[in-house]
Amino acid sequence: MKVGAERDSARTSAFPRPAADEFSPPENGARTRDRRDSRWDEHRRTRREQLVQATVDAVARHGAGVGMDEIAAEAGTSKTVVYRHFTDRTELYVAVCSRVAAQLLPKLRDAIESRDEPREMVAAAIDTYLAFLEADPELYRFVVHQQTLDRPAGHDPISSLSDLVGEQTAAIVGLALERSGHDRRAAAPWGHGAVGMVRSAADWWLRAGRPMLRAELTAHLTDLAWAGLSGVVTPEARTEEDK
């Protein structure tokens, strides 16, 4: 290999190897800078993750309306340092939302894939979503209801999360439609509509102080969703002429 050959050549050369602070060939210097840059990149990624976790901890301590001073204090640093890693509050908010998405979506996929029947899949997905917000309502409020932030158009992480959940639901509906001989084009509006319904009902549930058990709400929402879905995913009855 080229690197190994260079090392062997250096060992057998009649000239002494240069000291660390002396001039080195450009290629070696570039590799040294690349390694240094790589180490700093890793440090920055680690520090950003620490600040995201500090934000999550600050939300748990102070609620969804937590401020940057409280976030910085939770991280044991200053707002100036926080802004070295995140250009503004919006960028930090997006990073927290990405963390939530990375935790929630696999749980939704596992819940859906662990069931065989479409109705059971819908119920499992609804219950998983409600379990997430029940376990940490302040974090849910933080990622869903930060409406005052100046978010770039087309980069709303919660819309993206809702879209991803809606796409998974639409995939389930689409498969059921195909099996039942119906047009798959209904899958997208049904899937995304169901997600919007659950999110709206979940918001009410939190505002009302959770007036019923999560299992009850899951059952009600499943009944409501399935009352419509069952009409389009049930196999069409065949007439005598079709038989």
Q: How many domains does the chain have?
A: 2
Domain span holding position 194? 96-236
* pLDDT by residue, tens only, the chain of 243 residues: 444 444 444 434 333 443 433 334 445 555 555 665 666 778 788 999 999 999 999 999 999 999 999 999 999 999 999 999 998 988 999 899 888 888 888 998 899 889 888 788 889 989 999 999 999 999 988 988 765 455 555 556 666 567 777 887 788 778 777 877 778 888 888 888 888 899 899 999 999 999 999 999 999 999 988 887 665 555 554 444 444
Judgement on whether residues 46 and 166 belong to the same structural domain of the protein = no
The phi, psi pair for 6, rounded to 5°, reads: -65, -40
**119, 222 contact by CB (below 8 A):** yes
On whether both 130 and 192 belong to a single domain, the answer is yes
Look-up of token digits 């376990």:
135
Asked if residue 67 and residue 165 are part of one domain, the reply reads no
Q: For residue 12, is it within any domain?
A: no
Examine the domain organization and report whether 108 and 155 are in the same domain.
yes
130 and 40 in a common domain = no
Residue 106 lies in a domain: yes
116 and 160 inside one domain: yes
231 and 120 in a common domain: yes
Is 193 in the same domain as 79?
A: no
7 domain residue, yes or no:
no
User: Among residues 61, 86, 111, which one ends one of the domains?
Assistant: 86
d(CA 50, CA 42): 12
Instruction: Report pLDDT for 210.
Output: 95
Q: Which amino acid is at 241?
A: E
Interhelix angle 137-144/187-207, nearest 10 degrees: 120
Cα separation, 30 vs 213, in Å, equals 61
- Examine the domain organization and report whether 193 and 154 are in the same domain: yes
What's the pLDDT at 27?
54
Q: Are residues 30 and 112 in the same domain?
A: no
Q: Give the pLDDT of residue 232.
A: 56
Q: Which of 34, 62, 86 is the last residue of a domain?
A: 86
207 φ, ψ (degrees, to nearest 5): -60, -35
CATH code of the domain in which 167 resides: 1.10.357.10
Whether 142 and 179 share a structural domain: yes
Q: Please name which of 84, 62, 89 lies closest in space to residue 73, comparing C-alpha atoms.
A: 62
**What's at 189, amino acid-wise?**
P
Asked, for residue 4, whether it belongs to a domain, the answer is: no
Is 34 in the same domain as 100?
A: no
Which among 86, 106, 121 is the end of a domain?
86
